[in-house]
A and B are shown apart, each in its own frame.
Chain A
């Protein structure tokens, strides 16, 4: 197994408490700003992601005010929204679309892709596979700063006079290509495209690093079959990202050409603003294919890391091995592969050839099988456990609950004949907000609660965590569950108001409930924010392994310094889920404990591993002599 020898600069001078080892390496700028340390970069991603989550959440509250209280006078928001309010104190209908668009873009890309993968892949990959850092610290740093630049541009676009992009987060042309069609397709759309191009660069730099690190830098003994499920998830996510993001880049590039250089990739036969445009021969449907070729894998880019995190946390807090480790890996692998061949289920009624619709229905419903397997495995992991409801565990159970509730409606939407009626209604909004939005958000929250002690060396307050969880959990259900009914009734998405239609005249009550629940849920996040920030500085000092977990990151000091381990990197002997092993005194055996030290709990099927361990030890000796 490949290991990298970087200990000389870190091994000697390290104190476990109040380790001020950053002082040895550089100044404030190189330590906290342009850092190449994966842990600092992870925290940078986390903090930026959290800032974006607040912005994205606030935007959703704004449009929920319009939908839940269409009669209300929002004049009191004038200081913030200025000209985006009509004289009657209502949100401008075009700004409403901008809010929806930016909410989607921010949440999908900036929070649940960068904020989730960026944080936890960076933080956990080296720590859990036993590496000093990422394969390329410099590329890793670049990845964050491209993301930061991308964020800055997207943020600026919120404040320009023509408004940010407003054609939906899917930016379907021609709407997104023609400033005549909507004012957000002017400068706002240009900034959106530039920002996303930079975002894709960031994502690719990150993903290449994650893949390389996982393949090359695992510690001695850490074979792929001994990888924690988190790492499997991050690894597969990175592969999906590398294969799909370039396609979005191509789609965006062609859109830039259409917008600025007069090409006709997506435009044809358009008469707008009193003139016929010269563009001919393009197809808006081409864009949709390209977009969803990323867009659907993106769902799994967002979801898989959350599922990985959850697997880890549920096993740890049930004090049980994750049920069906191989099935979990297999189903993630299967999902990752299938995620590339289901994209057109977003396009059943776009005028695409109906035969394609049949194929994509079939493939889409196949993907439900590995997803179901994952749910069953989570539930079985709880069975006969000894469950500790840490806040991280609560959020993980919440994730499984959302994944179930939201996943099951996918069976309706994936079936093209049923999708005809449900497409672009609130049923879809309910579906993806539960299965991907809320589930991934809960995965992210679970991850923060679980690894906070390793990130900051201190504990978060559990009781505030419980309060945060229950308000958010119930709040999310109250926001998204009623949307199923609204969707079955046919209410279309992205509607500023439904009053123009008799058919959609009902449900003012449910919409109000949804809005109230959304506001409560949003407010509850400030409990978390307080808990998070306060305890970075004032929290109780954390033990090195507060959850009695088995994975390698918990063998590092309380606050791991640059290089992660003092002295040698531990060698791995066993899989990461030896919880409550019969015969063992403790209810967990960490991965770095050799079988030779635990004869009382070794199982017959581990004999091969044990033999390998003896042989492996000799092999190490031989190898070291060579140097």
Chain B
């Protein structure tokens, strides 16, 4: 397909060359003297504009139609469907305006090309016309804006209390997800000064909400339930981008950002819809963050509610995976922490003795 386009480009070049030649020949036949202004060249340029207009506009419409499925991404979130519809409304409005102005402009360049002896119109202003084309775009834009603002308001509004909370943490050059855990459903506090090689989130173990938090290297979300994604970064700016869910939000060190959305299609449903059993949702980074910016892929899985619940319960808490960190838990909370983290109570003794040894 590219080759068709490249061929088009080459064709245009050939035409250009031919016009070049013909211009010269015509000049020779007429015994052209060194005149200041060449009508044949002027006409050639006007014709080129017409060819450009027809080929350009034709190519645009043809490619947009023929390759529609290649450049449009299927949508899998509730607000995504709304923003997509706004996108396509805007597209229709602008393409119509674009095509009209494009055609009219290039038609004028052709229709009013220089002719000897003709005098241009002295047409310096026309208030009615000017008011018309100030007011019409203003009204159309106002309609687009108001629709856009309503959508924006809904998207950025507060999440419901029942929303599933997930934390995404960006760092050079990978993503990590933290879930609040099944027991308290609340993310524990974090502090960047507590970050080390194992405590990658900087979990604050004096906060009892942190004990059942768990880390995941895959984003699992349930279909049809609102997700509240809390986003932060450890080193430089990153940006969460979930192309199929029309989600994008920067990850900023020192500032927590968030984005709420509801997935509408499970991974399995999407595979079926696209007829592609290998399909997977993906998360990318869209804020330049250094050498590995292009490789910050994070797998995303949309589960049915039951599958999600099952997955959730199968996950081990971070504290259970890193029992060494029990020593940072205040003594009076230790037992609660172990219960919450799912660590067998008699384990403490061995951990403590190990520490002493």
Interface residues, chain A, with chain B CB atoms under 8 Å away: 93-94, 97, 167-168, 172, 174-175, 178, 181-182, 267-272, 274, 276, 280-285, 318-327, 349-351, 354, 357-358, 361-362, 365-366, 368-369, 372-373, 375-380, 382-389, 394, 397, 400-401, 404-405, 408-409, 411-412, 415-418, 420-421, 423-425, 462-463, 466-467, 470-471, 473-474, 477-478, 481, 485-486, 488-490, 492-498, 500-504, 506-507, 509-510, 512-513, 516-517, 520, 546, 577, 579-582, 587
Contacts and interface: CB of A to CB of B under 8 A. Distances in A.
B192 A270 contact: yes
B350 interface: no
Contact of A386 (B118, B243, B247): B118
B163 interface: no
B152 A357 contact: yes
Given A181-B290, A323-B125, A389-B41, A404 B252 contact: no
Nearest to B59: A481
A97 B288 contact: yes
A384 B111 CA distance: 8
A504 B280 CA distance: 12
B22 interface: no
Contact of B73 (A327, A385, A490): A490
Given A174-B253, A269-B254, A463-B41, A587 B119 contact: yes
- A-B complex: 8 closest residue pairs judged by Cβ atoms: A268-B254, A354-B156, A351-B257, A509-B2, A389-B45, A384-B121, A490-B243, A415-B148
Nearest to A370: B134
Contacts of A388: 37, 42, 114
A327 B120 contact: no
A382 B112 contact: yes
A284 B255 contact: yes
Nearest to A389: B45
B109 A268 contact: no
B112 A386 contact: yes
B293 A369 contact: no
B61 interface: no
B130 A324 contact: yes
Given A282-B254, A284-B255, A404-B98, 4 more contacts: A463-B23, A474-B52, A494-B293, A513-B2
B129 interface: yes
B3 to A, nearest CB: 8
Given A268-B253, A271-B235, A276-B193, A175 B45 contact: no
Given A357-B152, A386-B114, A582-B122, A503 B288 contact: no
A368 B141 contact: yes
A178 B130 contact: no
Contacts of B123: 320-321, 323, 380, 383-384
A24 to B, nearest CB: 33
Interface stretch (B100-108, B181-189, B208-216, B312-320): B100-108
Interface string B82-109: 1110110011011001100110110011
B239 interface: yes
B20 A411 contact: no
Given A354-B156, A369-B141, A463-B20, A327 B284 contact: no
A167 B238 CA distance: 12
Interface in B274-331: 278-280, 282, 284-295, 297
B61 to A, nearest CB: 12
19 contacts: A97-B291, A97-B293, A181-B172, A269-B192, A285-B252, A321-B124, A372-B134, A372-B137, A380-B129, A383-B121, A389-B41, A389-B109, A412-B87, A415-B145, A418-B87, A420-B246, A424-B287, A503-B73, A546-B36
A201 to B, nearest CB: 28
B134 to A, nearest CB: 6
B210 to A, nearest CB: 17
A420 B101 contact: no
A389 B42 contact: yes
B97 to A, nearest CB: 7
Nearest to A475: B9
Contacts of B58: none
B249 interface: yes
Interface string B183-210: 0000000001101010000100000000
A496 B291 CA distance: 9
A365 B94 contact: no
A357 B109 contact: no
B339 interface: no
A181 to B, nearest CB: 5
A314 B61 CA distance: 29
Nearest to B202: A271
Given A284-B252, A284-B254, A420-B155, A326 B45 contact: no
Given A284-B255, A489-B71, A421 B192 contact: no
